[in-house]
Structure 1
Amino acid sequence: MKKIILFALTLITTTVFSQSQTDTYFKLTRANFNQDNAYATTAFVEKYFRVPGNTGFNASIHYVENILKKAGFVEQKNDEFESPLTYRIEKRPMKRNTWEPVDASVTIVGEKMPLIAYQTNRNMIPINCPSTPTEGITAEVIFVGRGTAKELEGKDLKGKILFADASTGRLIATAAKAGAIGVMGYAMPKYNQPEKYQTSISFGSMPADAGIWSLLLSYGVKEKLKAACLTGKVELKVNIQTKIYQSEELTIVANVKGNIKPNERFVYSAHVQEPGANDNATGVGTLAEMARVTASLVKTGKLKPQRTLTFLWGDEIVSTRRYIIEDTTRSKGILWGMSLDMVGEDTQKTGGSFLIEKMPDPSAIWTRGTDKHSEWGAGDVKEKDLFPHYYNDFIFDICKAQGKFANWTVNFNPFEGGSDHTPFLQNKIPGLLMWHFTDVFYHTDNDRIDKVSATTMKNVGISALTAAYTLVTANEITASATVTQVKNDALIRLKTEFELSKKAIADGKSVADEKHIVEVWGKYYRDALATIGTMAVKPETTKVGSAIKVATLEIEKQTQTYLTELK
């Protein structure tokens, strides 16, 4: 009995001490994160349509480089740990040419004002689109409805422009074969609400060797052009100017050296490519300010990381995956990964919500109750894909604390994939995504700086830094407190799943199936607790192991109680 009482008191004490440590990091990050800096970087980056190797992409990389240099990072000469603060720009030849848009316009012959122009719709030119002759080209446009085989049958397209109320992607080859000089089309996801936001165009791409050009239209322009075509012959004056040239791919990596276990690290990733402000100029801007803050705290002695912090900017998924797999020794030391993607939204304008996309847990398989996927959509997660770890609950609780402090709404969604957290998970490294969805301007040319909130970037930056600082300096007190935290979160989740399964059984669902869901959740959290054993930088006693055992037994007992009651 004394051991139990003493242990309980120890857990209470460690929770207080750990919270004090986290509070210290919260105070440091809240006082030092300059949201104006993050916003200024975002504003610079969002000016460009960014494709790896092109002017805007490279300018963004060098803009971040200047921030790092001013903060005290020195260019790496031999190895990344030659100084406490280092950075390097990795340069690689590209297998294919890069591309960038310059200008475009489409005008109905006989009208003074353009039907659509690049100045207001940068996404009208798909990636890899070639230029027209400098003086532009004039040709008749042929409307083919949805572009089905029946609608295309018998159409004379030679020397003309094919226009469809459908995606250009599936029509380019057919149009080129028929002798058309170009294709214009429309395709927008429902979550962009195109009938309400009629000027939006989703960015897209086309084959570099298509032999003809293509253009993408907004809902409003598509409807206007369709109406004109249905009344008679329509000719268009089209001018497209783009650049296609050889270049090199750039990735920038900055390191803050850990002073005890430098080979163990926390890695942040923010992708540079894509044309939007929220997606992902905000990730670039937020991470750049996070690196500056970290350097400042290290130089003043207010932060003494015991593990390394790595900051990476590059091509989405490609750069992160390469960073992980190209150096197997380095890869073994990556303990956590975090993707910052679309992290600065003004949710009053975009309609989105800040989300933490969890690593695969059972909610990705059985999504019910208050859990819900974003409109991005669920992935095909199986039980074998589950990734039990304390990281999900640890990060969510950090963000909730900042949310409570700043009156900032924090939510989560089950795993879906599709950003820089995916390569971490594919390589068995805990990885999470910080993002916003559903955003009505997602991937459209209305994703501009006026939709960005500097305050949101600050909340994200504070949360991401506080979490990492806590983990790269974690001791047994931190680990013991995390055991308590994860156990409590587990008991809350088990109760929720029990109630959902009890109702499902009452509604006629299989008892065996509903019990299985509760069993899987119980096992998930037992396995997650086990991962806390390696959290501390320097484990010195068996205290954490003992705490894990006690918490595991409590979860097992509660799981069995619920299973017995499910009849």
Structure 2
Amino acid sequence: MKKIFLFALTLYTATVFAQTQTANYFKLTRAGFNEKNAYETTAFVEKYFRVPGNTGFNASIHRVEEILKKAGYVEQKDNEFEAPLTYRIEKRPMKRSTWEPVNASVTIVGETQPLIAFQTNRNMIPINCPSTIAGGVTAEVVFVGKGAAADLEGKDLKGKILFADAAAGRLVAAAVKAGAIGVMGYSVPKYNQPEKYQTSISFGSMQANAGIWSLFLSYGVKEKLKAACLKGTVSLKVNIETKIYEADELTIVANVKGSVKPNERFVYSAHVQEPGANDNATGVGTLAEMARVTANLVKSDQLKPQRTLTFLWGDEIVSTRRYITDDKERSNGILWGMSLDMVGEDTKKTGGSFLIEKMPDPSAIWTRGTDKHTEWGAGDVKEKDLFPHYYNDFIFDICKAQGKFANWTVNYNPFEGGSDHTPFLQNKIPGLLMWHFTDVFYHTDNDRIDKVSATTMKNVGVSALTAAYTLITADENTATATVTQVKTDALIRLKTEFELSKKAIADGKPAADEKHIIEVWAKWYTDALATIGTMPVDAKTTRVGSTIKVATLAVEKQVQIYLSELK
């Protein structure tokens, strides 16, 4: 009895200690994170249509460099650990030319005001689109309905502009074959609510060197032009100016050296490319401020990282994957990865809420109850793809704590993929995505600075920093507290799944299938508990292992009870 009491007392003391440590980091990050700085950086970046190698992309990278230098990071000369705070800009010649838009307008001949113009619809020009001849071109526009083969049959398109109520990209080849000089099309996803937000255009690209130009239209412009074409012959004056040139691709990497295990690290990634404010100027701005705060805390000895903290800005997925795979030794030391993508939403304007996209757990296979996928769509996750780890619950609970403090709504979604967290997972490294969805302005040219919330960026930045600080300084108290947390989360999840399975069986679903779901969840959580053993910087502790065993037994015991009741 005394031994049990002493163990419980030790566990309680460890939990309180770890909570105090995390609470201290919350205090430091809440006081240190300046949302005005994050917002100003975001406003700078969102001015540009950013493609790797182009003016806006490079200006954004150098803006981050200015922030890092001012914060005390020194440019790396020989190696990334030559000073406590270092940064480097990696340059690589691009295999393809870069591209940037300059200007564009479309005017119906006979009208004085443009039908559409680049100043208000920067996404009207697809990436890789060439310029028209200087001064523009004037030609008849031919409406071809949905652009099906039957719609094109018998149409005289030579020297004319093909216009379809369909995606322009899929009609370029047919237009070239028919001798058209350009293509105009429309394609905006339903979740962007195009009939409500009639000026929105989704950004996209066209094949380079296609031998023709193309333009994207908003719902409102498409309907106006279609109505005009159905009344009679319409000619358009089209002027497009773009730049296509050879360039280097830039990635900027900053490091805060760990004092005990510098080769073990937490890596943040925020992609620079794309033309939006929330996507992803907010990720760039938030991460830049996070790097500044971290430097200040290190220089004032308020943060003493024992593992390394790495900040990365570059081309989505490409830069992160390269960072992971180019150096095997470095890759082996990456213990956690986090993608900051669309992290600054003013949700009253954009909709949706802040989300943590989880590593693949069983909810990605059996999505039920309150779990739901976003409009981005579910991935094809199988049981072999599951990634049991404490990281899911650890990060979610950190964010919930900030949410409770700041009255900030925090949710999660099952794994879907598509951002900088995926290269981590593909290389067997725990990786999560911080983002927002659904955003009605997602990927459209209405994703501008007025849809950004500085307060949201602070909530995300505070949560992301507090989580990383806790992990890069984790000791056995942190680990044992995390065991308690994950065990509690496991029991809550298993109870939820049990109730769902009980109802499913009552509704006629096979009991064997429902038991299997419970068993997979149980294994996921017991395997996740086991990963906590490597959390402490000094992982050679026996107390953490004992705590994990006790928690695992509690989970397994409860699972057996649930399985016996599912008939």
Q: TM-score, normalised to structure 1's length?
A: 1.00
Q: 2:312 matched to which residue of 1? A: 312
Q: 1:495 matched to which residue of 2? A: 495
**How far apart are 1:540 and its partner, in Å?**
4.8
Q: 1:53 matched to which residue of 2? A: 53
Deviation sequence 1:257-282 (CA, Å, 0-9, x none): 00000000000000000000000000
Aligned mates of 1:213, 1:457 — CA distance in 2:
38
Q: 2:481 matched to which residue of 1? A: 481
Structure 2 letter corresponding to 1:279? D
Q: 1:154 matched to which residue of 2? A: 154
**How far apart are 1:169 and its partner, in Å?**
1.2
Structure 2 letter corresponding to 1:543? R
After TM superposition, what 4+ stretches of structure 1 lie above 3 angstroms from structure 2?
none
Q: 1:213 matched to which residue of 2? A: 213
- Give me the identity figure in percent: 85
Structure 1 letter corresponding to 2:280? N
Q: 1:33 matched to which residue of 2? A: 33
Aligned mates of 1:529, 1:452 — CA distance in 2:
38
Aligned mates of 1:127, 1:114 — CA distance in 2:
22
**Higher mean C-alpha displacement, 79-88 vs 10-19:** 10-19
Unaligned runs of 5+ in 2: none
**How far apart are 1:8 and its partner, in Å?**
1.7
| 1:476/1:540 contact within 8 Å kept | no
Structure 1 letter corresponding to 2:439? D
**Higher mean C-alpha displacement, 3-12 vs 352-361:** 3-12
Aligned mates of 1:117, 1:507 — CA distance in 2:
56
Structure 2 letter corresponding to 1:461? G
Deviation sequence 1:346-388 (CA, Å, 0-9, x none): 0000012100000000000000000000100000000000000
Unaligned runs of 5+ in 1: none
Pair 1:299-2:299 in alignment: yes
Structure 1 letter corresponding to 2:362? P
Structure 2 letter corresponding to 1:319? S
Aligned mates of 1:469, 1:135 — CA distance in 2:
56
Structure 2 letter corresponding to 1:515? K
Alignment of 1:126-165 (within 5 A): 126-165=126-165
Q: 2:351 matched to which residue of 1? A: 351
Equivalent residue of 1:230, what SS?
Answer: helix
| 1:58/1:250 contact within 8 Å kept | yes
Q: 1:14 matched to which residue of 2? A: 14
**Higher mean C-alpha displacement, 157-166 vs 3-12:** 3-12
Pair 1:518-2:546 in alignment: no
Q: 1:542 matched to which residue of 2? A: 542
Pair 1:406-2:406 in alignment: yes
Equivalent residue of 1:171, what SS?
Answer: helix
Q: 2:68 matched to which residue of 1? A: 68
Aligned mates of 2:540, 2:79 — CA distance in 1:
31
How many residue pairs end up in the alignment? Answer: 567
Q: 2:184 matched to which residue of 1? A: 184
**How far apart are 1:541 and its partner, in Å?**
3.0
**How far apart are 1:6 and its partner, in Å?**
1.9
Alignment of 1:126-275 (within 5 A): 126-275=126-275
Equivalent residue of 1:56, what SS?
Answer: helix
Aligned mates of 2:271, 2:547 — CA distance in 1:
39
Deviation sequence 1:114-169 (CA, Å, 0-9, x none): 00000000000000000001110000000000001111000010000000000011
Structure 1 letter corresponding to 2:257? K
Aligned mates of 1:525, 1:335 — CA distance in 2:
19
Q: 1:362 matched to which residue of 2? A: 362
Structure 1 letter corresponding to 2:46? E
**How far apart are 1:484 and its partner, in Å?**
0.2
Q: 1:394 matched to which residue of 2? A: 394
Alignment of 1:309-458 (within 5 A): 309-458=309-458
Aligned mates of 1:494, 1:328 — CA distance in 2:
38
Structure 1 letter corresponding to 2:168? T
Structure 1 letter corresponding to 2:435? W
The alignment yields a C-alpha RMSD, in angstroms, of 0.5
Equivalent residue of 2:204, what SS?
Answer: coil
**How far apart are 1:5 and its partner, in Å?**
2.4
Aligned mates of 1:234, 1:541 — CA distance in 2:
78
**How far apart are 1:538 and its partner, in Å?**
1.0
Structure 2 letter corresponding to 1:473? T
**How far apart are 1:563 and its partner, in Å?**
0.3
Structure 1 letter corresponding to 2:290? M
| 1:389/1:430 contact within 8 Å kept | yes
**How far apart are 1:9 and its partner, in Å?**
1.8
**How far apart are 1:337 and its partner, in Å?**
0.1
Equivalent residue of 1:486, what SS?
Answer: helix
Aligned mates of 2:185, 2:9 — CA distance in 1:
67
| 1:254/1:311 contact within 8 Å kept | yes
Equivalent residue of 1:512, what SS?
Answer: helix
Q: TM-score, normalised to structure 2's length?
A: 1.00
| 1:359/1:431 contact within 8 Å kept | yes
| 1:345/1:352 contact within 8 Å kept | no
